[in-house]
Chains A and B, each alone.
Chain A
C-alpha cells in the first residue's frame, strides 16, 4: 500500500472502496494500526472496538462484492460515548455508568450501521457531555493533536481529536451548547450541529433534552454532509424529531455563495477575544465576500443573556435527566445503610464535580419559590434569543462568527474556574438555545500554530445552506488540509 489510507477523506475513501483500490478491511486496519500507535498519546478513545470493527469490515467487503453501494459503506467512524451502542460499553465518560452496555443502538448510530459504517470505538467526553475540554471525563483528559499539552475542547473532544489525528475518518459527537462546534474549532476539523429535531435523539443519553443534538465530525464539509444525510430524518421513537423530508445535501453543496447574504453579528466580536481569532474570522468573511457573497452587519441583541439562560435551562433539565442513575437497575451501586444512604453514596462517588455542580444548579432553579425567577424567566429569554435569529434570517441567509473566543487552552488552565470554562461556549450557546443549525470549520491558525474555527449559523432546518457556504469556502482555502504533526 503506497498511500496512507487514513489521509483520505470519506469521499475519497468511498471512491477507493468502490473502485476496489483497497478493501474495507484494509481501510479499517489502517485506522486500527494508527489508533494502536497514537491513541496512548491523544487519548481520544475510551474503548476501541477492534474485533467488531474487523467483523463489520469483512461483512462490508462481502456486500461490496455483491454490488452494494452507499455514501458511507465501509467508512470507519468514531462514536462519542454518550450514544448508546448495543452490547458495547457506553459510559458517558462517567464512573456511574462503568460497565453499562445498552440493549439497543441510538437511532443515529443504527442508521449509520445500516448504511455500512464501521465503528472503531467509543470516544472520550466530558462526563455526561458537561464541559468544554474533556477534563471533566471520569476517566482521563483527551489531548489536542496540535499540542498535546492543550485540551481538544469539549465535550465531544474525543471524536474531534480522533478525526484531527486521523484515528477515524469521521465521527459522531453531540452538541448541547457547542459540544461539537467548539472542539472541532480547537482541533482544526469540521463539525455540524444540526437543527434541533433534524436527527433523532433516541439513544443519546440525555444531558439537556431541549438542547441536545447529534452532530458529525469530518475533515471536510462534504464528509460531515454525508454523515448528516444518513443520520437525519424523522424517528417515531423521538417525538421531538421533525417529520420533514431530508434534502439531498450533496445535490446543492456545490452551488457556491454568489448572491447569498452573510450576516455578521456585531455582538460576536467582543473585548477579550484572541486577536488572531478575530483576524482569521474577519478574513474568512472577506473571503466569502470575494467569492460573491453579500456581507451585512446584523445585530442579535440578546446574545449577552445566552450564557446565563443556558446555565439555568440546561442544568434544570440535567437535574431530572440524571435522576435515573440511582443504582437500582444499572451502573454503579454502592450499597450503604438504607435506601437513601445508597442513593447518596452511589451518586456521590459516581458523579464528578461538574456534574454535581450542574445538578445542584438545576435543582435550585426548579425549586418551589425559585422556579419563576430562574427557570421560567430563562425560558422567556430563550424565546427572545430565538426571535433575534428569526429577525436576522429575514435579512440574511447565513450568519458568520467565530466558534470560540480563543484557540485551544492548556490542560488545567481553566479547570478550577467554571465561569472561565463556560465562556469558551459563549458564541455557540445562542444557536443551541434557538434550536438552529451551526457549522464549524477551519479558517486559520494562531501564532502558536493552533487552529481557529469559523462558525456558520443557518435558519432552522437549513443545514443545506451551511454545507453549501462551508464547502465553497473550503474549496477556496487550504486550512482544512493542514494536519497536526504527531
Chain B
C-alpha cells in the first residue's frame, strides 16, 4: 500500500491471541526439561511421552497449572474449578501423537481484563476472554533438498493461550496490550518475553467496520509476528488493506495471513474453506482437574508484585514521577535493575535520571533492547558508586558520564578508571585559580566583552578552563573563581 488512506469513516476491531510458553522445570505432561530451543541440540530433551511413542500416557505438571493460575489472577480472571483437557486432532510431523492435548470447552481462566497504558498517558481496559493450557508442538526445519527434520525438544512444553475480547481498536492499542501482557508474564517469572526465540507468539484477529457500527465483518488472522515492532506494522498494514478492500467495493476474505517482513506486507496463507475440523473431544487419558479455592488462594499469596502495583510503589514510596515510574516498570529487568541500584544505597530519583538518560542512551547506541539490561557491563552497584562519587565531588558530572561509558564499553572498576584516566575532580583552589588566570590572560578580547556587560561570555571562559583541566575541575569552584578574577579586572 503506497499511500495511507486517512479516512475517519472506519475503525478496526482487533482481538489478540497470545501463546506463551511457561518456563516450568519440566514439560506439560512428562518429566523432560524445558530447554532453550536455540541453544540445545535437537531431540535431546525428549522421552517416549513427548515423542508420542505407542502406549505412553500424559501426566499433568502441577507447576504449569500454578503458573497458569498466576497469569489468570494477574489478568483479573475467574479461575475455573472444573478443568478438562481435550484432544485437538490433526496430522502434522511436528505433532507426534496426531493430536494436541489442549483445554477446549473448560479453560483454566475466563472473564478477565488488563489495563493497558497508551502513549498519551491514558489507560484502557482490554477484556480477557479466556486463558487455557495446552502443549506445544515440535519444530520442523525444511532443508533445501526437500527433506524436513523435526526437533521434538519443544514438543510438550507447557503453553498458555491468552485470548482477548475484540476490544482493541488500532495498532497502538495492540502494541500497548502486548507490552503490558509481556511485562506481566515477565513479572510473574513464567515467560522470558523473548519473542525472537518464539517463547511468546502473537496473533492478531483483525477486521474493520464503519465508525458507529456494531457489526463484525470478516476478519483475518495475522500470524508470524516475531516482535512487537512487526506486530505493530502488520496490524497497521492489515487495517489499511482491509479499508481499501471495502472502499474499492470488494469484501475482505476470512482467512489466515502471514507477515512478510522483507516486503512489509501481509499475505494470504489459508482460507476458511480449507480450515481443519479438529474433532475436539475430552482427553480420556486425563481425569478432570479440579482446582480448589484454597489452591487458588495459596497461589495468589505467593504471587510476585505486578507492574501496576510496582509503579504505584515507585511513585508513592520512592517519589518518582508517573512518567518515570511507568518507564521503569515496563520491563521487568529494568525494574529489577532500578531496585537493585536503590538497594545499593542511592537516591531513587537520581538513579532514575541516570538510568533513563545515560544508560538508555548507551544501550540504544549499542542496539540493546531494554529487557537486555542484564547483559550490560555496568552493574547497578557501579552506577550507584558513580552517582555517590559525584555527590562527594570526587568526580564531576562529565567525568561520571565518561566513567560509565568506559565501564559500559570495556568493563573495569570505577575507582581504577578514575585514576588511570585522571578523572578525579580538581578542587584545590590554588590550582584552579592558576588555570583561571591563565585562561583570562590568553583570551583578552572575551575578558573585555565581559567587562562591557556581555555576561554570557563567561560560559565560553568556563569551557576553556574545564578544557585546560581535562574536564576534572570542580565546576562550581571554577565559576566562582572566574567571577572573582574577572571582577578584579574591572
Contacts and interface: CB of A to CB of B under 8 A. Distances in A.
Given A103-B48, A239-B60, A368 B53 contact: no
Contacts of A239: 57-60, 285-287
Interface in A326-359: 326, 328-330, 339, 343
A367 B52 CA distance: 23
B51 interface: yes
Kindly name the residue among B58, B98, B150 whose own CB sees the greatest number of chain A CB atoms within 10 A: B98
B150 A203 contact: no
Interface string B254-297: 00000000000000000000000101110011110000000000
B87 interface: yes
Contacts of A320: 87, 89, 97-99, 279, 281
B436 to A, nearest CB: 81
Contact of B96 (A104, A204, A324): A324
A328 B137 CA distance: 14
A111 to B, nearest CB: 15
Given A210-B284, A320-B281, A323-B91, A236 B59 contact: yes
Nearest to B278: A368
B54 interface: yes
Nearest to A105: B55
Nearest to B56: A202
Given A328-B93, A367-B279, A240 B99 contact: no
A237 B91 CA distance: 25
Interface in A306-336: 316-317, 319-320, 322-326, 328-330
Contacts of A84: 54-55
Kindly name the residue among B57, B59, B285, B286 whose own CB sees the greatest number of chain A CB atoms within 10 A: B57
Interface string B83-103: 000010101010011110000
Contacts of A317: 281, 284
Interface string A346-379: 0000000000000000010011100100010000
Contacts of A411: none
A236 B150 CA distance: 29
A305 interface: no
Given A102-B55, A103-B53, A328-B150, A323 B281 contact: no
Interface size class of B (residues with CB under 8 A): 20 to 34
Interface residues of A, number: 44
Nearest to B277: A368
Contact of B57 (A83, A238, A319): A238
A367 B89 contact: no
Contacts of B54: 84, 90, 92, 97, 100, 102, 205-206, 324-325, 330
Nearest to B148: A339
A103 B54 CA distance: 10
A201 interface: yes
A367 B51 contact: no
Nearest to B146: A338
A14 B215 CA distance: 78
A209 B285 contact: yes
A201 B87 contact: no
Nearest to A316: B281
Contacts of B93: 326, 328, 339
A193 to B, nearest CB: 17
A90 B98 CA distance: 20
Contacts of A209: 284-285
B57 A366 contact: no
A106 interface: yes
Interface in A91-113: 92, 97, 100, 102-104, 106
B98 to A, nearest CB: 2
Interface of B: 48, 51-60, 87, 89, 91, 93, 96-99, 150, 277, 279-281, 284-287
10 contacts: A83-B55, A202-B57, A239-B59, A317-B284, A320-B98, A324-B52, A328-B96, A330-B53, A366-B279, A368-B277
Given A84-B55, A317-B281, A343-B91, 8 more contacts: A102-B48, A103-B48, A239-B60, A316-B281, A319-B279, A320-B87, A329-B52, A371-B281
